[in-house]
Structure 1
Amino acid sequence: MKKYKIQPGDTLSAIALREYGTSMLFSVIAIQNHLLDPDVIHAGDELLIPYVTFRHRFAGENSTAARLAVTERYYGGDPDAQLIWEIVNGVAQKPIAKGAWLLIPDLADVGHHTVVAGETLPGLAFDWYGDEHLARMIELANHLPFQHVPAPGDILVVPKLNRRSHARGDTLAAMCRHEYGDVDDLQTRVDVVVAANNIADPDAIVSNQVVYFPS
């Protein structure tokens, strides 16, 4: 989560569009900052901006050229980066529906991790993202071969991407408590998760539904 000082002319919708790729997620910022009226913000005030993985609306037809255009826009045409966003969205060697929203992992504002004995890339992928299958994303981001076994002391780039979890019959509040711990603002965290995932009814989470957790 980062801090942002409101500039003259800012609106929550414009901030959300810039930060998240869609103005529809303005409510994430409003909820996090307990704004009673999201249309009323004041220049000079400071907002907390939760990290929500950037969204891109795939407006074209499914084609190699359209995929390359996405990669060029966000990553400068890096072929490894293209496979990264395809893997994250489950569209590697699969069609993309016109109008689909794609998650765009951040490969610029990254963290770093020093490997310790016993760690594996699938294990790290599960710890970082809630999905061991994203080990391939870590490999690609670090230009490592398929099924690479890291050695203690190796330093890995950690792509920025929201953790995900598959609902297993838990309530959304229980999932958030597991993700964030016993924090004082748990209900706010729940409300932010609802907004970030466009969940219509937080009491009606279905089994195996994928939920993303802003940080």
Structure 2
Amino acid sequence: MKNYIVAPGDTLFGIAQREYGDGGLYPVIAEQNHLSNPDLISVGQELLIPYVTYRHLFASDDGTAARRQLTESFYGTPDPGIQFIWEVVNGVAQRQIHRGAWLLLPELADVGHHTVVAGESFAGLAGRWYGDDHLSVVIANANRLDPATDPAPGQVLIIPGLNRRRHVAGDTLESLCVDEYGDHDVATRAAVVAAANHLGRPHSLFANQVVYFPS
């Protein structure tokens, strides 16, 4: 979550487009700030901007060149190890990306850090940070380490910016939010999560549905 001061010419759609890569996620900001009319924001107004993993609309045909170009454009490097990070996150490392698909692009700059303690593994950290231990390769590659070898105690790791996710199993959106955030202002949290996941019917979750939680 960060603070943002509305500047001349700003709209919620434009802020969401810049922060999230998807202007359609403007309801996330509106719900977090209890804005009854998203079209009415004032210069100098302070807004809370939840962190939502950046989204990219894949508008080209898939291929080696297209993937390399996306990696270089977003991360400033054609490094295949960095490319593998977003491929794993999106499940497209060995699968075609269809034109028009939305891709999640983890943040690798200006992120938090973690000092490894005894007994920690990449899989355990991925499970704790992202809700999926299979994303261990994301942490290892972001730190240019071998994912097959657990990090050493005392080692400082970059924490790639990526929202936690859960597979729904008999839960409600409200109960999931209580688990993730605690029981403070559950209604706002649930509304923000619904907006971030484009849930038109937040009270109708289904088993094994994946829900991402803004931070």
Specify the SS of the correspondent of 1:48. strand
Q: How does 1:179-198 map to 2 (within 5 A)?
A: 179-183=180-184, 185-198=185-198
Q: Is residue 3–residue 46 contact of structure 1 (8 Å, CA) maintained in 2?
A: yes
Report the counterpart of residue 12 of structure 1 in structure 2. 12
Q: Is residue 117–residue 152 contact of structure 1 (8 Å, CA) maintained in 2?
A: yes
Provide the C-alpha distance between the structure 2 equivalents of 1:87 and 1:2, rounded to a whole number of angstroms.
27
Report the counterpart of residue 172 of structure 2 in structure 1. 171
Specify the SS of the correspondent of 1:212. strand
Report the counterpart of residue 32 of structure 1 in structure 2. 32
Provide the C-alpha distance between the structure 1 equivalents of 2:97 and 2:69, rounded to a whole number of angstroms.
14
Report the counterpart of residue 48 of structure 2 in structure 1. 48
Report the counterpart of residue 147 of structure 1 in structure 2. 148
- Per mean C-alpha deviation after superposition, the further-off stretch among 66-75 and 16-25 is 66-75
Q: Is residue 142–residue 157 contact of structure 1 (8 Å, CA) maintained in 2?
A: yes
Moved over 3 A (4+): none
Report the counterpart of residue 58 of structure 1 in structure 2. 58
Provide the C-alpha distance between the structure 1 equivalents of 2:98 and 2:118, rounded to a whole number of angstroms.
42
Provide the C-alpha distance between the structure 1 equivalents of 2:42 and 2:203, rounded to a whole number of angstroms.
34
Report the counterpart of residue 97 of structure 1 in structure 2. 98
- State the shift of 1:202 in Å: 1.0
- State the shift of 1:54 in Å: 0.3
Provide the C-alpha distance between the structure 1 equivalents of 2:194 and 2:144, rounded to a whole number of angstroms.
35
Instruction: Give ranges in structure 1 of 5+ residues lacking alignment.
Output: none
- State the shift of 1:52 in Å: 0.3
- State the shift of 1:78 in Å: 2.4
Report the counterpart of residue 21 of structure 2 in structure 1. 21
Q: Is residue 112–residue 157 contact of structure 1 (8 Å, CA) maintained in 2?
A: yes
Report the counterpart of residue 79 of structure 2 in structure 1. 78
Report the counterpart of residue 138 of structure 2 in structure 1. 137
Q: Is residue 122–residue 147 contact of structure 2 (8 Å, CA) maintained in 1?
A: no
Deviations 1:108-147 (A, max 9, x none): 1211101111111101001000010010001100111131
Specify the SS of the correspondent of 2:111. strand
Q: Is residue 16–residue 25 contact of structure 1 (8 Å, CA) maintained in 2?
A: yes
Specify the SS of the correspondent of 2:177. helix
Report the counterpart of residue 2 of structure 2 in structure 1. 2
Report the counterpart of residue 161 of structure 2 in structure 1. 160
Are 2:125 and 1:124 aligned?
A: yes
Provide the C-alpha distance between the structure 2 equivalents of 1:32 and 1:60, rounded to a whole number of angstroms.
33
Q: Is residue 139–residue 148 contact of structure 1 (8 Å, CA) maintained in 2?
A: no
Counterpart residue type for residue 57 of structure 1:
L
- State the shift of 1:66 in Å: 1.1
